[in-house]
Amino acid sequence: MKKYPFSEIEKKWQSYWEEHQTYRVKEDPSYPPEKRKYVLDMFPYPSGSGLHVGHPEGYTATDIYSRYLRMTGHNVLHPMGFDSFGLPAETYAMQTGTHPRITTEANIDTFRRQLKQLGFGYDWDREISTHSPEYYKWTQWIFLKLWEKDLAYVAEIPVWYCEKLGTVLANEEVITTPDGPRSERGMHPVERKPLRQWMLKITKYADRLLEDLDELDWPESLKTMQRNWIGKSEGANVRFEIDGHDRHLEVYTTRPDTLFGATYMVMAPEHQLVHEITGDEQRQAVEEYIRTAALKSDLERTDLAKDKTGVFTGAYAVNPVNNQRIPIWISDYILISYGTGAIMAVPGHDERDWEFARKFELPVIRVVAPEDEVKDQSTETLKDYRRDMEEVFPEKGVSVNSGLITGLPTDQAKSRIITWLEEQGTGTRAVNYKLRDWIFSRQRYWGEPIPLVQDQKGEFTPVPASDLPLTLPEVESYKPSGTGESPLANVPEWVNTPVPGTSGEPGQRETNTMPQWAGSCWYYLRYIDPHNDDELAAKDKIEYWMPVDLYVGGTEHAVLHLLYARFWHKVLYDIGVVNTKEPFQRLVNQGMITSYAYQRDDSSLVPTDEVEEVKQGEFIETATGAKVTQVVAKMSKSLKNVINPDDIIREYGADSMRLYEMFMGPLEQSKPWSTQGLIGIHRFLDKIWRTAHKEINAGSSNPELEKVLHKTIKKVGEDTSSLSFNTAISQMMIFINEAYKQESINLNIWKNFVLLLGPYAPHLAEELWSMTGETESIALQDWPVYDEALTRDDEITLVVQVNGKVRAKLDVSAGLPKDELEKLAVDNDRIRELTRDKTIRKVIVVPDKLVNIVAT
């Protein structure tokens, strides 16, 4: 018998699937709604390095699940495409002069080839790429709908700008280094810079984005991350007059009950009033502090562990509840982007304010006390309660030293003081969010053009929908314009155009492009109707498939992509394009597949090709001669620890790689790659191949193997439906171990096992299926049905406990009634001995599992 010829088999069946369009799906009305399933992968960015072995983990999971659903009578939409706009291709274009489209499409060809080699059952007729004009026509159309609904606007705001990359960066794309803030990509210097930006009013949807999370089958940790990002809170806006200036500071606080404890105020260094109210004596120190703060990332500024810094402005505010003058400081732990960019500081009841006050010797006043501490005291006593504090008290309690709200519990105190502020005209009840409007423009070439034209008065007019797509022009250089605009600003023949709807009035096209997030906000809808030239997708098709039943991807998209996609979906819901409030009903985050790297004593990582093993368990960095430790790390080109799936497929086959990635552990957990583990799975597939070459016929009888089969059908079905792929594979291994012992195997038993294998190792399963004489693809067959009676053992091992400790194990017939099990346990010689001098108080029986005897 020839050794398992995986290479021949896999090429053969990949050609068959393509030729016969095995996985093509249509909107068949004969399937009821509950039998229609949309299974979606987070589509990849087609990088130049192609896939590494971590990428296919989620794709394999959804492929197995989709195949299982088809075999259990479902119509399944399972598509794939590419998130193909983005900065890397543009950076490469700047370095080489190669058009980003050429690079991107070559990368897509590589990705598609690799995905097909892994045998994924995608409907390739539905493939989309976000850089295709046929696709981004509808991205532009959605933007115009946002514009029509007054959800898009222009603002000049301080943003992170990278001169080298020539574009604005999100806070998440900036990292802090000893040399100042740098771009995550390329480690280039970045700076704060006020630039004209397009913004989307995602904040208008904040409440709906919060409330509708409750309806979703998502990991609770991910929902919490979204809730925290939106950051809804209820409190008050309070107005503080600035002494000696015809100006005031407005602050938002969730604890207006602590106003009597405000002993100073803090403004963000970027606050517009800083220069106006700063005194001459403090001006130099203030301006120097502002320059220093501009070099820090928001993450660094708000780090709770870092030492608080600040400078006094020389100005004072007037506390509206007691008319006390309190000093105004600036500090970088206050962000201009959150709230009003200023706070009232209550050091007795806020950790950051406490640290700041202690450092700069500012007053601390107790205005809230624990309820137990003051429960028997009168309101008059509490009005002059002890004010000194040894530690901060940030919790709720009872107001003390607080005028009209003294003696009230926190919630009542909040309500009462807000009412008073509104009566005095110095405050209002308010709801605030951490969520900020979405900075939507980028100063790049390789992105969707924004379909607006600006006239000479500065007004914008949309490009008519009939003229979409507004396509990218050819450019001589992909480098930034040098004026903070995209390279499109260097193409006057494209920029200068008549204002739509006029008789030739001169105008200028918007030169900023959309961020990469734009195309990924709605791609799941285009899969539904990818060749429609007249609308984003036909409404009847959207109603047939939506919402997405299962969405699988990495945790790196846990907040922004999902938040942005949910926002756009809700807008489309409001204008009647989609039929559901939410796009993704169930979401699963797969864990990361890691690889080995090497770590120095300072925790920095060393590329694998710079390390040599000296002896078992000892490694030397060749460049320095220093000993380094082998650690598990994320796969990275820079660490030279990326494993290419092409190499794995060439040596072990696609089915081995698929099965191994599912066998490594639970889907949601991260796990390290092990070539030894892969070899073990390859041997398992080879064992299946050798088993298939035993005598298999309709006449043979294998009653014990049949019982193992029915247990396997039940276990694999249950585990596949719950995405517990590793335990399903373990059960298939049990079956094969039993089958391999047989001289001959019943044909029906064998065919049922091959059907179970089909979703997991589709190439091998197709070959084994055809070897039994079948001519139709295994992907089109029904899932096997098990006989419940055959899944039960004739004999079980009964565990007998005395007072909760295992004292005996008995082999008994399965299905015995409770009274017989109790008698067998109590009459056992070992148990009799242990209970001879004791009184049996109680006997707990769990049928077919255990008996616990409580004796004293």
| b (16+ CB within 10 A) / e for 752-775 | bbbbbbbbbbbbbbbbbbbeeeee
Contacting residues for 56 by C-beta, under 8 A, at least 6 apart = 115, 118, 645, 657, 658, 661
Amino acid occupying residue 225:
M
Please choose, from the candidates 375, 536, 446, the residue with its C-alpha nearest in 3D space to the C-alpha of residue 105.
446
> Considering Cα of 347, then 353, then 359, then 361, what sign does the dihedral take?
negative
Residues marked as binding for ATP?
637
Torsion on CA atoms 546, 550, 556, 557, rounded to nearest 10: 10
Please choose, from the candidates 65, 28, 40, 5, the residue with its C-alpha nearest in 3D space to the C-alpha of residue 524.
40
Torsion on CA atoms 298, 300, 306, 308, rounded to nearest 10: -40
- Strand (E) or helix (H) holding 689: helix 675-692
Query: Whole-angstrom Cα distance, residue 556 to residue 439?
Result: 19
- Length, in residues, of the chain: 856
**161 strand-pairing partners:** 168, 191
Torsion on CA atoms 364, 368, 374, 377, rounded to nearest 10: 90
Reading phi first (left if > 0) and then psi (alpha if -120 to 50, else beta), residue 133 is in alpha
CB 191 within 8 A of CB 161: yes
Strand, helix or coil for residue 125: helix
CB 592 within 8 A of CB 54: yes
Q: Running DSSP on this structure, what letter comes out for residue 173?
A: G
- Strand (E) or helix (H) holding 595: strand 593-599
> Considering Cα of 551, then 556, then 560, then 564, what sign does the dihedral take?
negative
Which parts of 201-306 are beta strand (E)? Answer: 233-242, 248-253, 264-267
Cα-atom radius of gyration of the chain, to the nearest Å? Answer: 34
Which position has the token pair 């009903």?
Answer: 585
Strand, helix or coil for residue 380: helix
- Mutual angle of helices 725-740 and 703-721, in 10-degree steps: 170
Using alpha carbons only, give the angle 326, 327, 332 rounded to the nearest 5 degrees.
130
By DSSP bridging, strand 593-599 and strand 627-634 are: antiparallel
- Strand (E) or helix (H) holding 849: none
φ, ψ dihedrals at 650, nearest 5°: -60, -40
N- to C-terminal Cα distance for the chain?
65
Residues marked as binding?
637
Query: Whole-angstrom Cα distance, residue 611 to residue 604?
Result: 14
CB 6 within 8 A of CB 684: no
CB 1 within 8 A of CB 485: no
Please choose, from the candidates 68, 401, 191, 544, the residue with its C-alpha nearest in 3D space to the C-alpha of residue 183.
191
SS3 content of the chain, % helix, strand, coil (to 5): 40, 20, 40
How many alpha carbons lie under 13 Å from residue 560 in its C-beta half-sphere?
15
Torsion on CA atoms 681, 686, 687, 688, rounded to nearest 10: 100
Query: Whole-angstrom Cα distance, residue 79 to residue 152?
Result: 31
Please choose, from the candidates 533, 537, 542, 662, the residue with its C-alpha nearest in 3D space to the C-alpha of residue 590.
662
Tell how far CA 460 is from the center of its chain: 35
CB 543 within 8 A of CB 550: no
Structure tokens at 195: 């630039």
